[in-house]
Structure 1
Amino acid sequence: MLYLYKLIIDKYGWDWLRRFAAQDVVWVRGTQEPADRVEAGTAAVALGTDGMLTPADDVKTRFVLPERDPFMAWAQRAAIFKNAGNPAAAKLYLNWWLSKQTQSDFYMWSVRTDVAPHTGYGHIWDYPNAHLDGFEHFMADRALVERFRQQLTLYVGEVSGAPSPGRLGLHPGR
């Protein structure tokens, strides 16, 4: 989420964030809770979550793709470690996950060039405002990330809620 706010603030400035925060925004940790709140009807909109490009009939929320405003997308990484306990199972899993059928059924964009995007959308690399490689570069500069997080906290305070993986920070045992 830090990177998404970095993109927005780089485009609109810190004054935008000040005005945005003054609108009784509920700040939560992670990306799933905002979507859950919208789906439950306890929030009207969520900034910084994902959604199905072609949602199922029973899903009330809709993903809205910005035409000019920044958003972030990146391919999920996968690897099989050299000393994996069961490399054959790992290969089967990755082969299934990257198969044309599974990638065609995925709710977002596929990483495969031979899988057509969902109806009404182009391939993800056709959207210059998706910043496909920006997240990786942002995260590589840990000093920048920490400075930005601290400055953002001055405007919005600390976010609330349990961290997504169930542990907090670099030193979860402390």
Structure 2
Amino acid sequence: MRLSLSLLALLGTVAADSLFAFNSSTQVETRSLDELHQAALAEGGTVVLWHGGDLANGGDDLKKSFEARFPGVTLNVTIDLSKYHDGRVDQGLASNGFLPDSVILQTLQDYPRWDVDGALLRYKPAGFDAINPAYKDPFGAWYGVYVYSWSFIWSSAKLPNVTIAEFADFLKPELKDKLVLTYPHDDDAVLYAFDLALRAYGAGFLDQLIAQNPRWVRGTGTPSLIIQNSTFAEAATFTSDLGYAPVDGIGSTKPATGPFVSWAQTAAILKDAPHPEGAKLLHNYILSPEYQNTTGWQVREDLPLPQGFPYAPLDKVNNTNPVDFARWMEDRGRVERLRFWFEAKLGTAQGVSPLIDPLS
């Protein structure tokens, strides 16, 4: 059946009107942080954030700086693995149960489907236009707020004559029985790191790494804690990060040429958030120049790198691709196959949650 030109024109008009309504539903922030602060106080002065992480104190710095900056507003941060937080969001959405105001998670594949389901507030905080387009939904349903990455970390006290610059250095004889690594099948970002390494160096790299007799642990914060603890022999890892500020007795770098993981940790406000004004305040604060200047690599393209930052701008670093992690996470079939392949090689992840005892 053919449609008349007049009907096609009408449908085109309706489609254009629908698209306009679709775009116009996005809220664009024009208020200052001080004005948002007052709105959050009037709302009750509380923000509930579910944040991905594997150390119980992982949200302390954000909580401290936010509450100091905005007196009277309390930031309640719950840290847990993103793969558990996203299930709780799904449960809350399915049952009309409890939902947080904001989520900042590693499970980047969740945000588009939550948006399609109408679960996210389409909102553009101040600074949204400056966020790298690859890190955000064009309608403001979700957006990166800071960049995470893994580093090579080693104890110069335990390994006084060792320098690590590439993955091959982890195979040095003097590092046998000295490595501590996160189970790749327990954390997708670590799994991605191993995937990159094996694609670059071949499956034999894993066999050589296993021959080094590493200590396998749960949590990405765990290796750095063990390395800094003088009671443990383990002294080096590539599945953790300590930020860019120097730490006494600890060497830290990115690989010179080998691939390493980076991604934009992504945030969204739930459409039915109990405290939407508080959530808006939080997101505007995190994206503000004053906070972005503390995060290392930034999601905003209009800000200079922090003073003393040891690496080049991310778009000048050729051996990492922060956009690729989101694409990789969307291919859940590949992720699951990799997870089970590593589980067959290494056994199931052992130990209690690092949130309970990271050094167990």
Q: TM-score range by the shorter chain?
A: 0.7 to 0.9
Indicate if the aligned counterparts of 1:52 and 1:62 stay in contact, CA closer than 8 A. no
> Offset of 1:93 from its aligned partner?
0.7
State the alpha-carbon separation in 2 of the partners of residues 141 and 165 from structure 1: 28
State the alpha-carbon separation in 2 of the partners of residues 97 and 109 from structure 1: 13
Match of 1:51 among 228, 242, 245: 242
**Identity across the alignment (%):** 32
> Offset of 1:90 from its aligned partner?
0.5
Indicate if the aligned counterparts of 1:110 and 1:117 stay in contact, CA closer than 8 A. yes
Instruction: Give the root-mean-square deviation of aligned CA atoms.
Output: 1.8
User: Corresponding residue for 1:104?
Assistant: 293
State the alpha-carbon separation in 1 of the partners of residues 291 and 206 from structure 2: 39
State the alpha-carbon separation in 2 of the partners of residues 10 and 162 from structure 1: 31
Give the stretch that moved more between structures: 129-138 or 157-166. Answer: 157-166
User: Corresponding residue for 2:194?
Assistant: 5
User: Corresponding residue for 1:150?
Assistant: 340
> Offset of 1:84 from its aligned partner?
1.0
- Compared CA separation, residues 23 and 51, structure 1 to 2 (3 A): same
Which structure has the greater CA radius of gyration?
Answer: 2
Match of 1:72 among 261, 270, 273: 261
User: Corresponding residue for 1:22?
Assistant: 211
In the TM superposition, what whole-angstrom CA distance separates every residue of 1:98-146 from its partner, at most 9, and x where no partner exists? 110111122x312122332243311122212222122212221111111
**Gaps spanning 5+ residues in structure 2: where?**
1-189
AA aligned opposite 2:217: V
- Compared CA separation, residues 164 and 127, structure 1 to 2 (3 A): farther
State the alpha-carbon separation in 1 of the partners of residues 332 and 294 from structure 2: 35
> Offset of 1:37 from its aligned partner?
0.6
> Offset of 1:161 from its aligned partner?
2.5
Indicate if the aligned counterparts of 1:52 and 1:63 stay in contact, CA closer than 8 A. no
Moved over 6 A (4+): none
Give the TM-score normalised by structure 1.
0.85
State the alpha-carbon separation in 1 of the partners of residues 348 and 250 from structure 2: 27
Indicate if the aligned counterparts of 1:74 and 1:133 stay in contact, CA closer than 8 A. yes
- How many residues are treated as equivalent by the alignment? 163
> Offset of 1:60 from its aligned partner?
3.7
Task: Compare relative contact order (CA 8 Å, sep 6+) and give the higher one, 1 or 2.
Answer: 1
Identify, as 1 or 2, the structure richer in strand: 2
AA aligned opposite 2:334: L
